[in-house]
Amino acid sequence: MLNWTRWFRTAPPMQPSAAKTATVKRLLPTRACGKYEPLYKYLEERYATMVVLTLSEIEDILGFALPARARTDGAWWTVPDADTSAGAYAAAWKSASRTAMPNLVARAVVFERVASDSRASDSHL
């Protein structure tokens, strides 16, 4: 019964695999997000499908106060403002593949991950 233990002691050590895994560095869309890039990074690094943040938490992440419209107009979260450079604030969550659903009464925003089209087309194969 102890013969199998002898086999483990005499087995040659495993050699590292000859194939190396290439590391791919993802480029951050800094141009698209502008000063809202910290929000993009925060959302991109979250594993959860839904991330709920209060307006104050978003301001803490960004390091500056949100515009007044962000606190009073739900459309600010769903339609990019033409006055900002290409709607940089909306690009922050869109680049992280999320939608924003504001609840201004609760002073919070739900960022929900959007399913990628490439994943949906792969599921048909």
pLDDT at 116 over 50: yes
Q: Tens digit of pLDDT for each residue in 48-62?
A: 999 999 999 999 999
Q: Tens digit of pLDDT for each residue in 64-113?
A: 999 999 999 988 888 765 555 546 688 888 888 899 999 999 999 999 99
Q: 103 - beta bridge partners?
A: 108
The residue extents of the domains of the chain are 30-115
Angstrom distance (rounded) from CA 23 to CA 9? 35
Angstrom distance (rounded) from CA 100 to CA 114? 10
Q: In terms of C-beta density within 10 A (0-12 exposed, 13-18 middle, 19 or more buried), how is residue 5 classed?
A: exposed
For residue 42, what pLDDT is reported?
A: 94
Q: What is the mean pLDDT of residues 9-13?
A: 60
- SS3 label, residue 109: strand
Q: How many CB atoms lie within 10 A of CB 75?
A: 9
Instruction: Answer whether 0.75 is exceeded by the pTM.
Output: no
- SS3 label, residue 29: coil
